[in-house]
Amino acid sequence: MSPDKGGIGVLMALETIRIKNFRSLRDATFNTKNLTVFVGCNDEGKSNLLRALDLFFNCDRRNGYVLNWARDFCGFAKASRNKAPQIEITLTFKLPSSFKLGEDVLWKRVWRQESRLEDEIRLVSGEELPSRSKAYSFLKAMRYDYVPAIKGPEYFERILSAVYDMLDATVRKDIRTAAAGFTTEIQRHTRGILADLEAQLGLKSEIELPTDLRQLFSELEFRSEIGGKRVGLSQRGDGIKVRHIPVILRWLADQANHLSAPGKPRAVTIWGYEEPENNLETRNCFKLADFFIKNSSSVQTFLTTHSPVFYSVFTGAHEDVRVFEVQLDPLAGTALTPRAASDPLDVDALHSSIGFHQLLEPHIRDWKQRVDQLQNRLTEALDLNHPTIFVEGPTDKIILEAVQKRFFPSRGEVRIVCATSNGGGHAWVKNSLIAWHHRQGPRRAVGLFDGDAAALVSLNEFAQIVTSRTKGSHRALQHRLNPAGVSLDISKAGLKIPVAIEEVCSRECWAKASAEGWLEARPNLNSLYKFEECDVSFNDWIGSRLPDVELRTIATMRVAKKFKEKFAKYVAEKISDPKCKFDFEPLRVLLSSLIDKVADPE
């Protein structure tokens, strides 16, 4: 933090902190930055670092930290025969060059069980500050806003009271004038009560607001409009509530900075913020983390977290961010380990310390499997010199090659390829396209995906890896099967049938499959077609939708996997027969569109 920049809190920097014998901290010394982050699990002592600063700055202030020796003295402290037990907190500051001190300033406070024993401000060299130095008032005017991990109603009452204190200090006259007007209006409507009091008790009374409006302010509400209705913050979810806190604290810091009289140093604000991730969804955690990074250039911030969202953003090579791993040693108390953002081993240690690895492991295993599949596809032979159509299985290849031979004999250079190993399917098609894209061959390729829910996973992944990252055109393309022929007739009845190559084949081919016993029932028909009727059976319902028996058979049955090849060979045989009158136009149109996609641009 540059101490000479303008702003509300960059007039100085708290550079080093040493805490001795406070709670779980036996002796902790660490250097700080604009944003200092403490990462660790619960009950490791993270919050004690922020509470120590709360004790240091706010022990003398109204509603400040109240020392409880039995609670706050360190249970890990080393016993000393010649010295009474004491808590020590020492802070080292770099003051602006305008103070002309030439070195850093040390501020030390010591507490014993009976009282605070020592409050010393001096140069780090041991010399006293110049007698007329403004450093004393500068340090004493510092503000420390501590935000606890649990941000309940009491905390919101406290910060709203702080808003009143700030307004009372900055615009007292305006507040008092408004209060006087409110009081006058109350008295106008209560004249009868006041007159009766004077008549019966002989007391001339008035109803007035209290001089201290702090309690009134603590009951105020932030209200916002939702759907045309005004809703108070107390009625909103915890996530919305906690997002108000940094905004209010920032306003308080701004106002405190404007309070300083001419010739006096500006008030400096420091934040101690516990677990900002509490009650926030992940998306807003990222937003809040970015806010802390930007805001810490003017308000030095100390923050605890056990969320990978926060420290992953904070470890993004920001020079003004320092990260510590916090762990509790059962013998020595809380210990801090600096973690470098640029060191993968340090980042890995943070992940391990909060159990993030266990959370990620299933996802890592899944991605490793995907990477292995893609690497296998890259090592397989890819003929990049021919326009290529990748299909999910051998039945697609058998049927489309027959269509190609009959309807597109002049386009024999277009190859139709399916997996010979590794299972095939939509994942294989997707990996083939990605491999084609990265190999950057001279010709184009298109992947044919079934029109079902399963293929969407691969289609989306292909879009993320290739389409969204490619500026302009690329040579790896995708094509999803849409309803055509019999499946289009079924879709027109309002039934969203999954479309594979079989669903583009003719009625006569399906009639053959039914007669040969090649069909099986489609699973989960109720959910597939979103059947939710209570007063009619599924069979009656689909019968009313599809009176055509052949279409109803196709909608409710599918070609069994073990008979797919027989079905494909039968279809190919009929396609190859020029005398066959089956409707192969949907298949011809499909292959035509695929060939157009892999054709070289003119």
The full DSSP string for 271-320 is: EEEE-TTTT--HHHHHHHHHHHHHHTTTSEEEEEE--HHHHHHHTTT-TT
330 found inside a domain = yes
Which has more pLDDT, 286 or 24?
A: 24
**Cα distance between residue 524 and residue 533, in whole Å:** 15
Q: At which of 297, 325, 354 does a domain end? A: 354
Task: Count other C-beta atoms under 10 Å from residue 208's C-beta.
Answer: 13
pLDDT in tens, 354-400: 777 566 656 656 766 766 666 666 556 677 889 999 999 999 999 99
User: Residue 412: what are its φ and ψ, rounded to 5°?
Assistant: -70, -15
Q: Is 422 left (phi over 0), alpha (psi -120 to 50) or beta?
A: left
pLDDT in tens, 87-97: 999 999 998 88
pLDDT in tens, 211-270: 665 565 555 555 566 666 665 555 555 556 777 788 888 888 887 777 665 566 678 899
Q: Are residues 472 and 571 in the same domain?
A: yes
Number of domains in the chain: 2
pLDDT in tens, 103-129: 999 999 999 988 778 899 999 999 999
- Assigned token pair, 22: 């406070």
Is residue 470 a contact partner of residue 440, using CB atoms and an 8 Å limit?
no
One-letter amino acid at 12 equals: M
pLDDT in tens, 281-328: 878 888 888 899 889 989 999 999 988 877 777 765 467 889 999 999
Q: Using the predicted structure, report yes or no on whether residue 422 has a pLDDT greater than 90.
A: no
- Give the list of residues 6+ apart from residue 329 with CB closer than 8 angstroms, or none: 335
Q: What is residue 391's predicted lDDT score, i.e. its pLDDT?
A: 96
Q: What is residue 3's predicted lDDT score, i.e. its pLDDT?
A: 42
C-alpha separations of 455 from 41, 426, 428, 447, 470 in Å: 40, 6, 11, 11, 22
- Dihedral sign of CA atoms 397, 398, 401, 403 in order: negative
Q: What is residue 127's predicted lDDT score, i.e. its pLDDT?
A: 92
Q: Are residues 392 and 536 in the same domain?
A: yes
Q: Using the predicted structure, report yes or no on whether residue 580 has a pLDDT greater than 90.
A: yes
Q: Report the pLDDT averaged over residues 194-199.
A: 70
**Cα distance between residue 349 and residue 238, in whole Å:** 31
Q: Report the pLDDT averaged over residues 420-437.
A: 84
C-alpha separations of 86 from 50, 70, 109, 335 in Å: 19, 12, 10, 19
Q: Are residues 378 and 276 in the same domain?
A: no
172 found inside a domain = no
Q: Using the predicted structure, report yes or no on whether residue 414 has a pLDDT greater than 90.
A: yes
pLDDT in tens, 490-510: 999 999 999 999 999 999 999
SS3 389: strand
Query: Per DSSP, what are the bridge partners of residue 224?
Result: 231
Q: Using the predicted structure, report yes or no on whether residue 2 has a pLDDT greater than 50.
A: no
**Cα distance between residue 211 and residue 511, in whole Å:** 92
Q: What is residue 593's predicted lDDT score, i.e. its pLDDT?
A: 96
Q: Are residues 458 and 577 in the same domain?
A: yes
Q: Please report the beta strands in 314-373, taking only residues with DSSP state E, as ranges in sequence order.
A: 321-329, 333-339
Q: Are residues 52 and 103 in the same domain?
A: yes
pLDDT band at 100 (very low <50, low <70, confident <90, very high): confident
Q: Are residues 74 and 116 in the same domain?
A: yes
77 found inside a domain = yes
575 found inside a domain = yes
User: Residue 329: what are its φ and ψ, rounded to 5°?
Assistant: -85, 125
- Assigned token pair, 367: 């991605």
Q: What is residue 6's predicted lDDT score, i.e. its pLDDT?
A: 42
Q: At which of 354, 388, 405 does a domain end? A: 354
Q: Using the predicted structure, report yes or no on whether residue 189 has a pLDDT greater than 80.
A: no
pLDDT in tens, 49-63: 999 999 999 998 877
Going by C-alpha positions, the residue among 337, 340, 280 that lies closest to residue 310 is 280
Q: Report the pLDDT averaged over residues 160-172.
A: 68
Q: What is residue 458's predicted lDDT score, i.e. its pLDDT?
A: 92
What is the average pLDDT score of the chain? 84
Least confident piece of the model among 46-50, 371-375, 443-447: 371-375
Q: Are residues 396 and 348 in the same domain?
A: no
Q: Using the predicted structure, report yes or no on whether residue 332 has a pLDDT greater than 80.
A: yes
Sheet of 105-112: strand order equals 25-31, 13-22, 86-94, 105-112, 116-123
Q: Using the predicted structure, report yes or no on whether residue 5 has a pLDDT greater than 50.
A: no
**Cα distance between residue 191 and residue 357, in whole Å:** 71
Going by C-alpha positions, the residue among 510, 421, 355 that lies closest to residue 44 is 355
Q: At which of 327, 354, 381 does a domain end? A: 354
Q: What is residue 248's predicted lDDT score, i.e. its pLDDT?
A: 82
Tokens 């008549």 correspond to what residue? 199
Helix H or strand E encompassing 43: none
215 found inside a domain = no
Tokens 């401000």 correspond to what residue? 121
234 found inside a domain = no
Q: Are residues 379 and 436 in the same domain?
A: yes
Whichever domain contains 300, its CATH number is 3.40.50.300
**Cα distance between residue 447 and residue 480, in whole Å:** 8
Q: Are residues 287 and 406 in the same domain?
A: no
Q: What is residue 228's predicted lDDT score, i.e. its pLDDT?
A: 64
Q: Are residues 378 and 457 in the same domain?
A: yes
Query: Per DSSP, what are the bridge partners of residue 390?
Result: 417, 447
Task: Determine the straight-line distance between the first and last CA of the chain, rounded to whole angstroms.
Answer: 59
Going by C-alpha positions, the residue among 42, 17, 2, 14 that lies closest to residue 328 is 42
Decide: residue 116, CB within 10 A, 0-12 exposed, 13-18 middle, 19+ buried.
Answer: middle
pLDDT in tens, 458-477: 999 888 888 777 766 788 99
Going by C-alpha positions, the residue among 431, 441, 452, 438 that lies closest to residue 501 is 452
366 found inside a domain = no
Q: Are residues 347 and 380 in the same domain?
A: no
- DSSP code string of 232-274: EGGGS-HHHHHHHHHHHHHHHHHHHHHTPPTTSPPP-EEEEEE
Which has more pLDDT, 485 or 469?
A: 485
Q: What is residue 9's predicted lDDT score, i.e. its pLDDT?
A: 46
Q: Are residues 62 and 142 in the same domain?
A: yes
- The angle, 0 to 180 degrees and rounded to 10, between the axes of the packed helices 394-407 and 564-576 is 0
521 found inside a domain = yes
Q: Report the pLDDT averaged over residues 541-547.
A: 94
**Cα distance between residue 554 and residue 542, in whole Å:** 12
Q: What is residue 282's predicted lDDT score, i.e. its pLDDT?
A: 79
Residue 532, domain extent: 373-598
**Cα distance between residue 85 and residue 69, in whole Å:** 10
Q: What is residue 1's predicted lDDT score, i.e. its pLDDT?
A: 44
pTM for the model stands at 0.57
User: Residue 223: what are its φ and ψ, rounded to 5°?
Assistant: -120, 140
